[in-house]
A and B are shown apart, each in its own frame.
Chain A
Amino acid sequence: MNSSNTNNGQSNNGKSSRLVGINRDLGLYFLELARLRSSAAPTEMEEDEEEAPKELNTINSSGGFLVVAPDKLSVKYTTVNLHGHDVGVVQANKPAPVKCLLYYFEIYVKDAGAKGQIAIGFTNEGFKMRRQPGWEVNSCGYHGDDGLLYRGQGKGDAFGPTYTTGDTVGGGINYASQEFFFTKNGVLVGTVCKEKEMKGRLFPTIAVHSQNEEYAYLLVHVNFGQKKFAFDLKATQERLKRQMTIEKISLPPNISYGLVRSYLLHYGYEDTLSSFDLASKSTIPPVYIAQENGFDEQDIGYALNQRKILRQLIRNGEIDAAISKLRDWYPQIVQVGALEEAVKYGRIELAKFFRLAGFYDLVQDCAALLAYEHPQESCVGYLLEESQRDLVADTVNAMILSTNPNTQDMEGCLQSYLERLLRQLTACCLERRSANGEQGEAFLLRRVLNS
């Protein structure tokens, strides 16, 4: 088997020199080569003295099954009617550089034949050149025929779409997150954790194979960065760099802890708070909150227990009980809270409450709440109920906070520190975008939370 393959390879190598010559003038060909050589390396890197892969390795490839064209950037699968394991594999001439943020290369499937199977991935130095990347340990490959990702575990994992003739597929290593990533036609297909065992140098690798085809004609071009990538590598790099800069920023100790605590205080989540405090005392090491924070918390801790009870009542829909408690504790608010009657007896009456300066927004919210709490009077019905109750609970909470004689600004009653910080973040991102001529991303909390 082996010897016949070798023979095969030799004869095919002979053919391959014609492969390039066919459509090309020799002068143009050299001109192009020169241009390729002078163009930039795949990824722009500071202080990088590593040599990046520029071409395919013609010596250590499974020559029996594939032919690397003399430009060393095209692979053709040549043999006919072979078995499933007669795979043509070729690595790049150099391993992927490691002293950089990420490495990336692409292939273009010029012709996948009728039943062609193509795989792109990374393999280590001693990889068996008869195997698809991902079939063996210490390799990883995204396979075009089934769209699965193989990581040397005998079976593939669901990963992305299949790919075939006309598709550009890319493979990359993100060293910052220790992940492989693959792209199809310029779009990220997915990332996969780079196994810790996959140490050592990794070679960009492609495999081509076809089975039971009368005459297999598979042609794959490789792009090690000589041409523009279909995938916007630059944007990815920018994002990564930015992310790393951001990750490096140091925060005051326990700041997140303190903000969460103040959030719980602000909204009157008293039970959560006490569990939280209890737990943080028993952690190793215990969490210490800076003394100066305690000063601020006196204000947001105002009437904590009453606010907690009211929130509970409102969330449970016990509005009458909430209002009677409010009446006992905060007669000045219930004047406004008498809204309930107003809703029942006529909405016109509401108007006069709206004129109470400062409470305008709050009253409006309350009115909305009261409307929805009586489903028979609401056109929106039950759907909104839950969130509407939260809204009302938050509003009542803010109103009670505003009765604190120490309160200086009304705004502060409506928002916890945490929310103020995030609003500032949103504002900064928007401001920055407008400074850049409306270009760039906005900050969306929803997106961060769902990612």
Chain B
Amino acid sequence: MNKLVMNFLVTEGYVEAAEKFRMESGTEPDIDLATISDRMAVKKAVQCGNVEDAIEKVNDLNPEILDTNPQLFFHLQQQRLIELIRNGKIEEALEFAQEELAPRGEENQTFLEELERTVSLLAFEDVSNCPLGELLDISQRLKTASEVNAAILTSQSHEKDPKLPSLLKMLIWAQNQLDEKAAYPRINNLSNATLEDPTV
């Protein structure tokens, strides 16, 4: 049980909590805790829009991650372009798009489409209210951040998702399956785990 909790803390990147939990419960984490801090630093950098910083950090961590993951690298560069546009650095953005992103777009059709979509942000006067505004939304950063996070975890041969949520999903599924066969005390509210008697 402690292991399950530790797995959650580690995968979600609660490094200090994981450290405390190791001391308080004696549970050994399944990954070197120091690597979590590095991973979280990368994630945070993307979340705050410091993509350049993030790329540098990933390469410090393990240069193979970006080499073997062109899609991730493209998404990071794309995010960088978005940040430039957000900050109104139009010329710089254009230059960056031409020099760094365009060659990648030539290699890959999907990349090209995404690049075109991003660059068309430049055509709008008021970017936050344009149909492509979602690219500027915080959720785009979070998406990129979690992609990097997952890639780093995979590179450390660790699963990219904690086990707890899938166990909860399994419970919902198992209960649904059982519903067809029998009436039994059911847990309907996961957050307080109360057994409810079957309605007869």
Contacts and interface: CB of A to CB of B under 8 A. Distances in A.
Interface of A: 195-197, 242, 245-247, 249, 251-252, 255-260, 263-264, 267, 269-276, 278-280, 284-285, 290, 292-293, 296, 308, 311-312, 315, 386, 390, 416-422, 424-425, 428-429, 431-432, 435, 443, 445, 448-449
B20 A420 contact: no
B174 A425 contact: yes
Contacts of B193: 417-418, 420-421, 424
A296 B192 contact: yes
B21 A432 contact: no
B187 A419 contact: no
Interface of B: 1, 3-5, 7-9, 12, 14-17, 19-21, 23-26, 44, 47-48, 68-71, 138, 142, 162-175, 177-178, 181-182, 184, 187, 190-193, 195
A431 B182 contact: yes
Contacts of A311: 24
8 contacts: A252-B191, A256-B164, A272-B9, A293-B192, A311-B24, A419-B1, A422-B171, A435-B178
A207 B164 CA distance: 44
Contacts of A420: 187, 193, 195
Nearest to B177: A432
A425 B131 CA distance: 45
Contact of A260 (B8, B19, B25, B169): B8
A292 B9 CA distance: 23
B186 to A, nearest CB: 8
A246 B1 contact: no
B192 to A, nearest CB: 5
Nearest to A390: B26
A280 B182 CA distance: 40
Contacts of A197: 70
A291 to B, nearest CB: 11
Given A247-B166, A284-B138, A271 B24 contact: yes
Contacts of B167: 421-422, 425, 445, 448
A428 B175 contact: yes
B181 A272 contact: no
B177 A421 contact: no
Interface of B: prevailing SS: helix
Contacts of A431: 178, 181-182, 184
A432 B178 contact: yes
Contact of B20 (A246, A272, A424, A429): A272
Contacts of B169: 246-247, 249, 251
Given A425-B171, A449-B7, A259 B164 contact: yes
B168 A292 contact: no
Contacts of B17: 272-273, 275-276, 279
A285 B138 CA distance: 9
A272 B47 contact: no
A421 B62 CA distance: 38
Contacts of A269: 20-21, 24-25
Contact of B171 (A428, A448, A449): A428
Given A264-B5, A449-B3, A417 B191 contact: yes
Nearest to B184: A431
A390 B9 CA distance: 20
Contact of B168 (A242, A421, A428, A432): A421
Contact of A443 (B1, B168, B170): B170
Given A252-B190, A420-B187, 6 more contacts: A260-B5, A272-B24, A275-B17, A422-B1, A428-B177, A449-B4
A293 to B, nearest CB: 5
B190 A259 contact: yes
A201 to B, nearest CB: 16
Contacts of A242: 173
Given A269-B21, A421-B190, A255 B168 contact: yes
Contacts of B168: 251, 255-256, 259, 421
B164 A432 contact: no
A251 B131 CA distance: 30
Contacts of A259: 164, 168, 190-191
A431 B170 CA distance: 14
Contacts of A263: 1, 5
Nearest to A289: B191
A293 B195 contact: no
A432 B174 contact: yes
A296 B187 CA distance: 16
Contact of A435 (B19, B44, B182): B182
Contacts of B9: 260, 272, 276
A278 B16 CA distance: 9
Contacts of B178: 428, 431-432, 435
Nearest to A311: B24
B106 to A, nearest CB: 16
B7 to A, nearest CB: 7
B26 A258 contact: no
A424 B14 contact: no
A247 B23 CA distance: 33
Residue from A245, A273, A312, A417 with most neighbouring chain B CB atoms (10 Å): A417
Nearest to B162: A256
B59 to A, nearest CB: 19
A242 B164 CA distance: 17
B191 A246 contact: no
Nearest to A417: B193
A161 B70 CA distance: 32
Contacts of B7: 449
